[in-house]
Amino acid sequence: MQQQFDVTDFALWTALVTPFDDNGQIDFDNLSFLIEQQVAAGNGLLLVGSTGEGLALTESEQESIVRFVCDKAPATPIMVGVGGFDLTAQRNWISRCNNLPIDAYLLTAPLYAKPGPIGQTQWFRALLQASNKPCMIYNVPSRTGTELSPWALAQLLDEDNFWSIKEASGSPVKFSEFKKALPDIAIYSGDDALLPEFSLLGAAGLVSVCANVWPQATQLYVEQCLSTSQNTAFNLWRGAIETLFSVANPIPLKVLMHQLGQLNSPLLRAPLTQEELTCLEAITQAHYQITQWYQSQTRNDVNS
């Protein structure tokens, strides 16, 4: 039986990419390699989220990924993305996953509909009550078109499965509003570059894109962000992270991982395409900088 984990023990969750072969099919051998990388670094796994192109996958493809990872029984927790606009479909997806040895869900606001606070409360309450796992609620207005209301989420404090928030609006003000309205709810940064700032406001950790390509270095970055308010490396990380968002995520990420041999193919699902990234110099330089930084940090640890 797969080990069950306490999700509160993990400060870093990697929003895992979905590897495809050159024919556009899920590359499960490559997925196995990616899982091993993350387990070795001690990072939690988030499957079929936006970085994993979850909404470009069929329901059967999503389920095949989750079942494959569960069958691997990795020595790290598994979180599953829940996203879309059909409440019945989302509840059914949660119901199917409830029977699998996963550890948490990431719940996203309904796409396109732009509900107000009352609709948000009703939507998330329905999903929380469908789940038998801890749930992280995801504020990402750039993708959903909906800015989550701190008041709405505060109405959900009576739901035992409401564990945390992933704040990805890019606003320290919004982070502070959530923290004030929900002081006992863990808040994770959904923006790699803002973790140093969010850490000062009480962040519990990071749901990361860049941990895909730099799993161990990102683990160290998170540790340092959560333990110190001053670090000259934070500016280096901010610049490197920005290169991974020069065009829509996960395009630069997949291109860089392919360059490094971590992905067999850089292929994405339409409407995303690697052809959007016309210059590779910035991501190549970013990788060099992060690699040099990590090597210097680990040398210092050995010599100290």
Residue 125: name the closest of 93, 154, 101, 95 by CA. Answer: 154
Give me 243's structure tokens.
């290169």
Catalytic residue among 138, 188, 221, 294: 138
Q: How far is CA 80 from CA 51, 121, 178, in A?
A: 12, 21, 23
Please say if 174 is a catalytic residue: no
Write the burial class of residue 91 (CB in 10 Å: 0-12 exposed, 13-18 middle, 19+ buried): middle
Beta bridge partners of 116: none
Q: For the chain, how big is the Rg over CA atoms in Å?
A: 18
Please say if 72 is a catalytic residue: no
- Cα dihedral 108, 49, 129, 101 in deg (nearest 10): -170
Catalytic residue among 166, 179, 221, 294: 166
Separation of alpha carbons 55 and 62, rounded Å: 9
**Residues taking part in catalysis:** 138, 166
